[in-house]
Chain A
């Protein structure tokens, strides 16, 4: 008989950020987060939970508790491949995949990720690609991703690139829609909306955990 060693850092309640759960749950149907019964079905269903530092169930508890730094700097949200296994099985109908993405967006917005980490860089490049021209140019995206994360991997990927080229599945052509201005107008309206929304989020509303 012995005691388990406690290696975890102590988190003090006064250091928590209760507004964090409000921010995350501001997505459509996000308020469902507060009905979680911590049953762990999500973690059991998740094909990636064994590679995560916190399981999906723990992430929900941490969001509700206001553990902002721990959630944003955990590996869990990055590993979510959005397969929606958790979301369809949850007995409380919590859309956990969408919540993972809300946390991911916040981490990206606040720059909480290691330098040259591919996932946020991929997201940024993809986003820019689409906002500029309406479509994603696959070949260019992959090239930019490699250059910005680990240029040495270009050699590693050369064989794959060559085979894709040979089979007509790879091109560096810039894909684009015709009416780019139309799309820009649509997105511009939402940029303004987004700012208004952020103010709403900051306004006092529901108490965390209620």
Chain B
């Protein structure tokens, strides 16, 4: 199976470990993945706060580049790990399909750069690909280092599940649970799986943003979680990088590692910490069961 890949800005900077671990896991599973050449920003929320129309055009250029990169008749899905990019691209796809007036404007704009958009590319999240294209059976067959005894809280966040995705349930998501369970982990019963982490409010309106993140962390901790698994670079950043600040703010001593689900999968596949960007985590991965690096 082969896919096109849209990393987005975060996966090249603060979320590098997500890219590293995802690519390693994909190659272990024999999935071919090609980065879209000369991709631009998806036009996510901060950009959309200034111009929605231009945000649609940014996403449309990405689709057009992806289409050009493939043979005319070929169809390849675009894998998008970042939740905000996943939403932005899906939103554009949806709006261009439903609104002819908008579609005409965007076509005209793309035309100025000799680009064409037909909408034949689907946007897929790695969780979707791993569950539905690869399958749990294949994934568990590669298990060499079971995550036994590790209590994991699976955090999906918001934009991955709402409002355009159709691969999981937005209230009771389970695709990440299933993957990590198949690799030996125990999944913590934690009802905040898809509750908002505060997004960029942690940096802009900090007392509110940190409070939202703290609620997630503390609830997970109270339920005996060893590691929080995430699928979004901003969720990972908020829950991990601001953890010491939350402790100061709320006079607490939480020390929960927050890893990308792809890092945990890689560990179970026996990949090296370097391949998975483990050294980029602020809080070292240790579990109650005493594994080093789990």
180-205 of chain A: CB within 8 A of chain B: 182-183, 185-190, 193-194, 197
- Chain B residue numbers with a CB within 8 Å of A170 are 13-14
Nearest residue (CB) in B for A125 is B46
B57 near A186: Cβ-Cβ < 8 Å: yes
Say which residue of A27, A105, A131, A193 sits within 8 Å of B109 (CB atoms): A193
- Chain A residue numbers with a CB within 8 Å of B200 are 81, 122
A141–B50 Cα distance when bound, in Å, is 16
CB of B73 to closest CB in A, whole Å:
25
Q: Is the interface of A mostly helix, strand, loop or mixed?
A: helix
| Contacts known (A28-B95, A47-B212, A186-B110); A175 close to B163, Cβ less than 8 A | no
Asked if A66 is an interface residue, CB under 8 A from chain B, the answer is: no
17-69 of chain B: CB within 8 A of chain A: 17, 38-41, 43, 45-54, 57-58, 61
Asked if B105 is an interface residue, CB under 8 A from chain A, the answer is: yes
B195 near A47: Cβ-Cβ < 8 Å: yes
Asked if A56 is an interface residue, CB under 8 A from chain B, the answer is: no
Q: How large is the interface on B (under 10, 10 to 19, 20 to 34, 35 or more residues)?
A: 35 or more
- Chain B residue numbers with a CB within 8 Å of A28 are 95, 98-99, 102
Say which residue of B43, B45, B105, B115 sits within 8 Å of A130 (CB atoms): B43
CB of B119 to closest CB in A, whole Å:
16
CB of B152 to closest CB in A, whole Å:
22
A127 near B47: Cβ-Cβ < 8 Å: yes
A131–B98 Cα distance when bound, in Å, is 26
CB of B276 to closest CB in A, whole Å:
13
Number of interface residues of A (CB under 8 A): 64
133-185 of chain A: CB within 8 A of chain B: 134-139, 142, 145, 160, 163-164, 167-171, 175, 177-179, 182-183, 185
A120 near B49: Cβ-Cβ < 8 Å: yes
* Interface mask (B78-113 → A, CB under 8 Å = 1, otherwise 0): 000000000100000001001100100100111011
* Interface mask (B241-254 → A, CB under 8 Å = 1, otherwise 0): 11001000000000
* B interface residues, Cβ below 8 angstroms from A: 9-10, 12-17, 38-41, 43, 45-54, 57-58, 61, 87, 95, 98-99, 102, 105, 108-110, 112-113, 115, 158-159, 162-163, 170, 195-196, 198-201, 203-205, 208, 212, 241-242, 245, 279-282
| With A83-B196, A122-B204 already in contact, 10 other A-B pairs whose C-beta atoms are closer than 8 Å | A83-B162, A87-B162, A127-B49, A134-B40, A134-B41, A169-B280, A183-B40, A185-B112, A186-B61, A187-B54
* A interface residues, Cβ below 8 angstroms from B: 27-29, 47-48, 51, 78-79, 81-85, 87-88, 95, 97-98, 101-102, 104-105, 108, 118-120, 122-124, 126-127, 130-131, 134-139, 142, 145, 160, 163-164, 167-171, 175, 177-179, 182-183, 185-190, 193-194, 197
What are 25 inter-chain pairs, A to B, with CB distance below 8 A?
A28-B95, A28-B98, A47-B212, A48-B212, A83-B195, A83-B196, A83-B199, A101-B45, A101-B52, A134-B40, A136-B41, A142-B203, A160-B241, A167-B280, A171-B13, A175-B12, A175-B13, A179-B38, A186-B112, A189-B108, A190-B54, A190-B105, A194-B51, A194-B53, A197-B53
